[in-house]
C-alpha cells in the first residue's frame, strides 16, 4: 500500500522538503510526483487533487487527498503509530507538537527574508532585528527540547521525529544565509546538513537549473557549507 506524494522543486520548496522527509525518514512507502511550482503548471498538476492549491499534497492508498504538512503529519502518525513519527514520551511528544505548530504558523520574518535555497551560501546577509528575534526564539526551542529530552542523540528529541522534519528547512536557511547562531544550534544545523536524506534531497534539486534563479540576491556567495 503506497502513498502518492506531490512535491515542488527541491532546491527552493521548504514545505515540499518537509513532506518528503515525513516519508523517507520513517520508511513509509511513497511514489513521488513533481509539480511545476516554478514552471507555471502547478494549478494544472494539482487539478485532480481538489481542493489542493499548494505543495506538498499526499494521496493515501485508499485515495484520500490530504494537503498541508501539519495535516499530513498527523494523518501519517495516526495511520502508522509504530513508525515513531512523534516521540513516545508524553512530555516530549507534547513539546514536539508545540514546536511543530509554532514552526508551521510562525517565524515570518526569517521565512520572508530568507527563502530556502540550497544552491550556495550567501555572504554578508543583512540580518534585521525581526530575523534575529526569530533566530533567538528558535534557539530557545531547540535548547529546551535537547536539554529536556535529547539524551545522547543528535536530534531535538534524541532520535529523529517530526520536530526535526519541520525544522530541517530552518537549518537550511541558517546554512544558506550564513546566519550566526550559538554552538549548540550550529551543531544541530550541521547534523541536518550531514543527514543522508537531506543530502539526497539537495542532490536531486541540483539536477535542475533555473533562469532566472528564484529568490536570487545581489550578494556574494560561497560554496554550500555542508557535504555534497
Would strands 3-7 and 30-34 be described as parallel, antiparallel, or unpaired?
Answer: parallel
The 8-class DSSP code of residue 122 comes to E
Q: How confident is the model at residue 1 (pLDDT cuts 50, 70, 90)?
A: confident
CA–CA–CA angle 94, 54, 69 (5° rounding): 15
Q: How confident is the model at residue 40 (pLDDT cuts 50, 70, 90)?
A: confident
Give the helix, strand, coil percentages of the chain, each rounded to 5. 50, 10, 40
Q: Report the predicted TM-score, pTM, of the whole model to 2 decimal places.
A: 0.97
Q: How confident is the model at residue 9 (pLDDT cuts 50, 70, 90)?
A: very high
**Mean pLDDT in residue range 195-217:** 96
The 8-class DSSP code of residue 158 comes to B
Q: Are 18 and 165 in contact (CB under 8 A)?
A: yes
Q: Length of the chain, please? A: 228
**Mean pLDDT in residue range 72-92:** 98
CA 93, CA 112: separation in Å to the nearest integer? 29
Percent of the chain with pLDDT over 90: 98
The closest of 5, 1, 37 to 21, measured between CA atoms, is 5
Given this model, what pLDDT does residue 31 score? 98
The residues, ordered by sequence, that sit 6+ positions from 166 with a Cβ below 8 Å of its Cβ are 18, 69, 73, 99, 100, 103, 104
Residue 118 has pLDDT above 90, yes or no: yes
The 8-class DSSP code of residue 213 comes to P
CA 52, CA 31: separation in Å to the nearest integer? 18
**Mean pLDDT in residue range 58-71:** 98
Given this model, what pLDDT does residue 183 score? 98
CA 9, CA 181: separation in Å to the nearest integer? 27
The 8-class DSSP code of residue 125 comes to -
pLDDT in tens, 130-139: 999 999 999 9
Q: Which domains does the chain have, with CATH numbers?
A: 3-79 (3.40.30.10), 90-204 (1.20.1050.10)
Enumerate the β-bridge partners of residue 32. Answer: 5
Q: Are 38 and 210 in contact (CB under 8 A)?
A: yes
The mean pLDDT of the chain is 97
Amino acid at each position: 500500500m503506497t502513498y502518492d506524494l506531490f512535491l515542488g522543486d527541491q532546491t527552493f520548496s521548504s514545505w515540499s522538503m518537509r513532506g518528503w522527509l515525513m516519508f523517507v525518514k520513517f520508511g513509509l512507502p511513497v511514489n513521488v510526483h513533481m509539480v511545476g511550482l516554478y514552471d507555471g503548471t502547478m494549478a494544472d498538476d494539482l487539478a485532480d487533487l481538489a481542493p489542493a492549491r499548494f505543495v506538498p499534497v499526499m494521496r493515501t492508498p485508499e485515495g484520500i487527498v490530504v494537503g498541508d504538512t501539519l495535516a499530513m503529519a498527523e494523518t501519517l502518525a495516526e495511520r502508522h503509530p509504530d513508525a515513531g513519527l512523534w516521540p513516545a514520551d508524553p512530555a516530549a511528544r507534547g513539546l514536539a507538537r508545540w514546536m511543530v505548530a509554532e514552526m508551521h504558523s510562525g517565524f515570518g520574518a526569517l521565512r520572508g527574508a530568507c527563502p530556502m535555497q540550497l544552491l550556495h551560501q550567501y555572504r554578508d546577509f543583512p540580518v534585521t532585528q525581526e530575523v534575529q528575534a526569530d533566530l533567538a526564539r528558535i534557539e530557545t526551542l531547540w535548547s529546551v527540547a535537547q536539554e529536556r529530552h535529547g539524551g545522547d542523540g543528535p536530534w531535538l528529541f534524541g532520535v529523529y521525529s517530526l520536530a526535526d522534519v519541520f525544522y530541517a528547512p530552518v537549518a537550511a536557511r541558517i546554512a544558506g544565509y550564513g546566519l550566526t547562531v550559538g554552538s549548540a544550534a550550529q551543531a544541530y544545523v550541521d547534523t541536518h546538513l550531514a543527514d543522508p536524506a537531506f543530502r539526497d534531497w539537495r542532490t536531486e534539486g541540483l539536477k535542475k537549473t533555473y533562469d532566472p534563479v528564484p529568490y536570487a540576491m545581489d550578494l556574494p556567495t560561497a560554496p554550500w557549507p555542508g557535504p555534497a
